[in-house]
Structure 1
Amino acid sequence: MTVAPFPPNAPVLLFDCTIEFHTKLTLIMALDTGSSYTVIREAAARKIGFELDKVQEWVTFGDASQHHIAPKVTLKSFSLADAKIDSLDVLIYTLPEEHGIDGIIGLNFLRQFNIGLDFKQGILTLNR
């Protein structure tokens, strides 16, 4: 079981996550149960070795106001604390700087686990 703390009154649940392709990089990512895919910033994708001009697969996704098209790539691994998934598909997208996050933890990662959110204690649990 993975236990990851968060501030109980935080407006957004942020967690340090590690992504890996050719190299590893730790990012600050927001948990979003409304996002089908996990999303990382373009700069992060480049830092771990993706050549974005060679990406073959693109995905259309929507948010509250519009539709977007983003490249889809497969990470070697994605970890939140010690909860690790190998070969996770992620979208690469330009996230607004003012949000202060490097990416979004989406359902394609979360569905690999039974998750618990204890808002009173400020604890996320992930069980396989």
Structure 2
Amino acid sequence: MPILRFDPSASVIIVDAQVTGRVTIVTRLVLDTGASLVVLPWKLALGIGISIDPEKTIQTTTATAIETVPKVVIPEISVLGKKIKNVDAIIKDFPPESPIDGLLGLSFLKHFHLKINFPKGELFLE
């Protein structure tokens, strides 16, 4: 079983994810069990070639506002060799200085038994 090793003293757990549409791009996502959906930036969504329908939107609540953002289906996301097809996601940019590209939310994580061993800095997806 593949294991992601992470720094337990860090404030977030960052995973490398393969996001696939017409092409595959490897990106850095924060594991976020508080996010209902996967969140990807515009550049990545357009880069993998998915269509974004301006009529398909969802309201999302941030720390400071309620925003209306596009809702899409990502053909495939793979993390630690575990693949899920047709993953619901929203498109939202992060600040340019952000070290991450998006969030790995429950629309992907709900398909797995997620185990996190913080003292050892290990994450497992089963």
What's the TM-score once normalised by structure 2's chain length? 0.92
Q: Secondary structure at the match of 1:88?
A: strand
Unaligned runs of at least 5 residues, structure 1:
none
Post-superposition CA distance 1:90-128 (Å, at most 9, x none): 11101112221111011111111111111111111111x
Q: What is the identity, as a one-letter code, of the residue corresponding to 1:22? A: R
Q: How many residues align?
A: 126
Cα distance in 1 for partners of 2:36, 2:47 equals 24
Root-mean-square deviation (Å): 1.4
Q: Which runs of 4+ in 1 moved over 4 A?
A: none
Partner of 1:31: 31
Partner of 1:15: 15
Partner of 2:101: 102
Post-superposition CA distance 1:23-58 (Å, at most 9, x none): 000001111111111000100011111344x44411
Partner of 1:79: 78
Cα distance in 2 for partners of 1:105, 1:4 equals 14
Q: What is the identity, as a one-letter code, of the residue corresponding to 2:121? A: G
% same residue: 30
* 1:81 Cα offset (Å): 1.6
- Conservation of the 8 A alpha-carbon contact between 2:50 and 2:74: no
Unaligned runs of at least 5 residues, structure 2:
none
- Conservation of the 8 A alpha-carbon contact between 2:80 and 2:125: no
Q: What is the identity, as a one-letter code, of the residue corresponding to 2:74? A: L
- Conservation of the 8 A alpha-carbon contact between 1:2 and 1:83: no
Q: Does 1:91 align with 2:90?
A: yes
Cα distance in 1 for partners of 2:8, 2:102 equals 21
Q: What is the identity, as a one-letter code, of the residue corresponding to 1:78? A: I
Partner of 1:69: 68
Partner of 1:46: 46
- Conservation of the 8 A alpha-carbon contact between 1:17 and 1:78: yes
Cα distance in 1 for partners of 2:51, 2:106 equals 25
Q: Secondary structure at the match of 2:97?
A: helix
Q: What is the identity, as a one-letter code, of the residue corresponding to 1:44? A: L
Q: What is the identity, as a one-letter code, of the residue corresponding to 2:16? A: D
